[in-house]
Amino acid sequence: MSLIEETAAGLDGLAQLRRLIASGRKPGIMVSLDFDFIEVEAGRAVFAGVAGDHAYNPIGTVHGGYAAALLDSACGCAVHSCLTATQAYTTFELKVAYHKAITRDTGLLRAEGRVLSIGRRAAFAEANLKDANGRLYASATSTLLVMER
């Protein structure tokens, strides 16, 4: 069942995301960039992945888009977890700061997103991308538009 079908079934955002994780399904971006959605609770979402050769850019490091995709996913799903069955969201703005270069040797990275505030029309979230030792590789802030379906 897709998220659209689950919305029609009356599931709120948190229930939709919990069902997605439990199903083991991976939306296209997670398949393409080989990362996983591993945790969700109200106002918080965590994604994890290992940047392999598939994420490299021509200059020999992991492309910034890999980190941005993990961070955007974490911010967006943190907000999605707070929505009712009749609400939707879209990212309006994502600002990413890169703190340290990512390579294939970096290992597992976790992007943890948290809602800072949410209202009827807008939500604000932040996320950090860290390795298994807690070193910060990138961070992001996001503004998201909240709308009725």
**What pLDDT, on the 0 to 100 scale, is given for residue 9?**
73
Point out the residues of the chain with pLDDT beneath 50.
Answer: none
CATH 3.40.50.11740 fits 3-148, yes or no: no
Residue 100: CA count within 13 A, CB half-sphere: 13
Buried-state track 111-149, b at ≥16 Cβ within 10 A, e below 16: bbbbbeebeeeebbbbbbbbeeeeeebbbbbbebebeee
pLDDT in tens, 48-76: 999 999 999 999 999 999 999 999 999 99
For residue 111, what pLDDT is reported? 99
Amino acid 28: pLDDT: 96
Q: How many CA atoms lie within 13 A of 99 on its CB side?
A: 11
Q: Where are the domains of the chain?
A: 3-148
Report residue 29 as tokens. Answer: 């971006």
Q: Tell me, what's the pLDDT at 148?
A: 96
User: What is the Cα–Cα distance from 28 to 34, expressed in whole angstroms?
Assistant: 9
